[in-house]
Amino acid sequence: MAEVNPPTWMQAGSYPARNDRLGAISSMLCYPGFAADESAPLRIRQGVKPSYQNYQLKVRPAATPNMTVIVSAGYCWVDNHDVGGFGAYTCVNDADKILTIAPAGGAGQYRRDAIVASVYDAETSGSVSEWRLEVIQGVYAASAGAAVLPTLPSSAVLLGSVLVSPGQTSVTAANISDHRNYTVAAGGILPVPASIMPNRLHPGQVVYLSDADLFAYGRSDGSYAPLILGVGAGGFARKTSDTSRANTEAMTPDPHLSVPVAVYSTYTVDAYLVYTAGTTGDINIALNGPSGVEGSWSAVGFGRGVPPASGVEGYTVRLNPNTIASTQPRSYGGDGGEETLHLRGIVRTAGTSGTCSVVWSQAASNSTATVMRAESWLRVQRVA
């Protein structure tokens, strides 16, 4: 193919439906995010229109569960995959649609049925011109884990699937998996889980990582990076009461000193820790974070085993990726009175959100309690 003529809506022209699909629909939909798009530049990202609570074309069970499912009203766009460059179809469902799930098989027979929005166009394949919400029945397997999705029609959007077990007589929410992906107009913000981020966002395409509550944008090399909409955002935690620990060296997060951190973000960390410890028990300190966290910290405090007149000692520790940082504590001393520890560092998160926490224990198990005092605090500040 070369130029598509006539151009859409030329005065006094006559236009095939393909021109409207390419000009009025496909050209306005967002970049597909697939490597294959470079060889098929008229492809778009097909999918469901996002909405509040993402209820459009949602597959759900009947109010009184039986062997049917309901597909909610909504819009979706389906690309023609019979012939490249034929554009996307707008499909509208204006009311709940009830679909019947075939009866379950016998003992040892499991299957996964697909719920799809399918387009059939006689101009490019077959003899029917319509779109359908339909169930594509899966093949039987010996276990639930072996049951896979069936082959879908060539031009279809997968909305959900239903796992059918031997002897099953009704479909509940637990049997239904949501497979919808969403699409928006070019330049719009695309909601997508971080776990299934499209491979190649176009430069400047903004996405909302719905399972991480974070925005990201496409870069010119095909990668993506977090979109920082509020550098300086972070959190602060203050101890409202003392916490005592005795006869234990088990590193445990402090019940007050934890602050939420988002995925793919960089934070500076400050802490002011007030504690009392005996000369034997002392204190172990570490920072903890979600899976994949990296970073380093150092603290200035009362050196363990060093007489008060000898000054202080500082330590630095690296938070290794995919490990629990509290396995690498540093020890500080006590003399029975109040001591302070001043901690600073940097934390970089990966694809898992969670909390940045002060983790501590006694450095040596002892009956004289080590106490983290009220008014100690932890602050994290997002910088990238």
Tens digits of pLDDT across the chain (384 residues): 567 777 777 777 777 888 888 888 888 888 776 665 665 677 788 999 998 888 999 999 999 999 999 999 999 999 999 888 888 999 999 999 999 999 999 999 999 999 999 999 999 999 999 999 999 999 999 999 999 999 999 999 999 999 999 999 999 999 999 999 999 988 889 998 887 888 778 888 888 888 777 788 888 887 777 776 554 556 899 999 999 999 999 999 999 999 988 888 889 999 999 999 988 889 998 888 888 888 888 888 877 765 444 444 444 444 443 344 545 678 888 888 898 988 988 888 888 888 899 999 998 999 999 999 999 999 999 887
Cis-peptide into 6, omega within 30 deg:
yes
278 in any annotated domain = yes
CB count, 10 Å around CB of 155?
A: 24
Instruction: Measure the CA–CA gap between 332 and 13, rounded to whole angstroms.
Output: 83
How many domains, the chain?
3
DSSP annotation of 139 reads P
For residue 262, CA distances in Å to 160, 189, 259, 265, 292 come to 29, 19, 10, 6, 12
Among candidates 315, 314, 269, 316, which has minimal Cα distance to 289?
269
23 in any annotated domain = no
In angstroms, what is the C-alpha Rg of the chain? 29
DSSP annotation of 19 reads H
Strand intervals (E) in 121-246: 130-136, 156-164, 176-178, 190-192, 206-209, 214-218, 224-226, 234-238, 243-245
Do 190 and 178 reside in the same domain of the chain?
no
Do 145 and 268 reside in the same domain of the chain?
no
Q: Which of 183, 211, 245 delimits the end of a domain?
A: 183
Q: Which of 227, 260, 287 delimits the end of a domain?
A: 227
Do 130 and 205 reside in the same domain of the chain?
no
Do 242 and 371 reside in the same domain of the chain?
yes
